[in-house]
Structure 1
Amino acid sequence: MRKSFVLFFCVVLLSGAQSQVVVMDETVTPLDTVRPDLGPNGKRMFNTVMGFHLVIPTEVNDRAPVSLGASNGFRIGYVWKYRLNNVFSLGYMVDFNTFNFRYKQNTIKDFPDTIIHQSQSVGINTLGAAVFFRINFDAKRGNIMGHYLDLGAYADLNISRYYRTKDENDLDEIIRTRVSRLSFIEKYQYGVYAAIGLNRFVLYGRYRFSDVFNSPYMSAEPPRLNVGIGFSIF
């Protein structure tokens, strides 16, 4: 009986030691290093972006004064990103943008005429592409987009170019005009792009290097800067 008890005690000790060794050898992967191949912080990411932007007049042009706030547009696009490491990524974007330049009505303006309208605007819809370099500020962020800065360049095709006015006559009738395929607006434009992101939300801006108005309205060139807020869908 005594020998059986000693033998049982030794077996229990050996089993406990073996269990302890297995636990100590177990590898636990930190949550912030778990990263799938696809996803916000994966090797590759695909997502849709949407946004609303304002046209920002940076220069005073009394001959073609653009209204701040009333001049705006929308954006929808598709983004592809390739992660180089925890900090740097490369990517490209294909997007559709609308730009509505609403002009103030005063006695000084002369674009494209001196008539005082109830409203007067030029619209440009674009389809384009951009390439960007992304810098992430939180390397150990897990599978989220985190805080980042995008710097890049874009080129757009101006697929729709139109001029609109709205007036009211003496009979209280509303008269609307629309002229499409404007010859004085260029078919292409290009510039630089930047964005500051916080996970799904982004503050973005574009600055156009190229002119979009040609002769005879080059002096009425619309503002080059637009700034907007958007979000990612994935």
Structure 2
Amino acid sequence: MLAAGLDVRYARLQYQLRQNSTKLLPNTATHYREALNLGQVQLEPFGRLNFGRRGNIIGHYLDLSAWGSWALSTTHTYEDRPGANGSARTLVKEQRPDYLRRWSWGLGTRLGSGRYAAVARYRLANTFSTAADPTYPELPRWLVGVELGIF
């Protein structure tokens, strides 16, 4: 049986940046901890193939989808230990850096049973805008995980 649907969700993506001598993003300075955070509203239309007997429940399914997102917030955060001026630590949060793209899109699939699903999504859009240094390495394009539906 075939069906179609639309998911609307909020997702918070956090990319922890490895601190070593080859670090380029967003600069070469190393810190105790550093991350890029994107809070996104995502829309995902999908086609669903239901299989097996299901009755009046969601049952077993395979979804194929395309998704798009807009970043409500983008931040670059880092922590230094020890901190500046003799403090134990210094926390810095840079909001809306111009090198991060606000719009993103990609393809996805979901294999589920009831409210539980294994998901895989591939981001087609680049993370960085034209304002970014061209030497920045692209952040991971794959997102793989488990979803819990609330319905």
Q: Same fold (TM over 0.5)?
A: yes
Check whether the contact 1:213–1:220 (CA below 8 A) recurs between aligned residues.
no
Q: Which runs of 5+ in 1 are unaligned?
A: 1-86
1:216 Cα offset (Å): 2.6
Check whether the contact 2:54–2:60 (CA below 8 A) recurs between aligned residues.
no
Greater helix share, 1 or 2? 1
1:207 aligns with 2:118: no
The normalised TM-score by structure 2 is 0.91
What does 1:92-131 correspond to in 2, within 5 Å? 92-131=6-45
Match of 2:97 in 1: 182
Of residues 109-118 and 122-131 in structure 1, the stretch that sits farther from structure 2 once superposed is 109-118
Counterpart code for 2:148: F
Across the aligned residues of Structure 1 and Structure 2, the Cα RMSD in angstroms comes to 1.4
Counterpart code for 1:228: G
- Other structure's SS at 2:67 match: strand
1:216 aligns with 2:143: no
Match of 2:79 in 1: 166
Match of 1:153 in 2: 66
1:227 Cα offset (Å): 1.0
Check whether the contact 2:31–2:78 (CA below 8 A) recurs between aligned residues.
yes
1:217 Cα offset (Å): 3.1
**Partner Cα distance (1:226, 1:169) in 2:** 34
Match of 1:136 in 2: 50
Q: Which runs of 5+ in 2 are unaligned?
A: none
**Partner Cα distance (2:132, 2:65) in 1:** 32
**Partner Cα distance (2:49, 2:132) in 1:** 43
The normalised TM-score by structure 1 is 0.60
* Structure 1 consecutive aligned stretches of length 4 or more whose deviation exceeds 6 Å: none
1:172 Cα offset (Å): 5.4
1:233 aligns with 2:150: yes
Larger Rg computed on CA atoms: 1
Count of matched residue positions in the alignment of Structure 1 and Structure 2: 147
**Partner Cα distance (2:91, 2:17) in 1:** 16
Check whether the contact 1:133–1:152 (CA below 8 A) recurs between aligned residues.
yes
**Partner Cα distance (2:150, 2:104) in 1:** 27
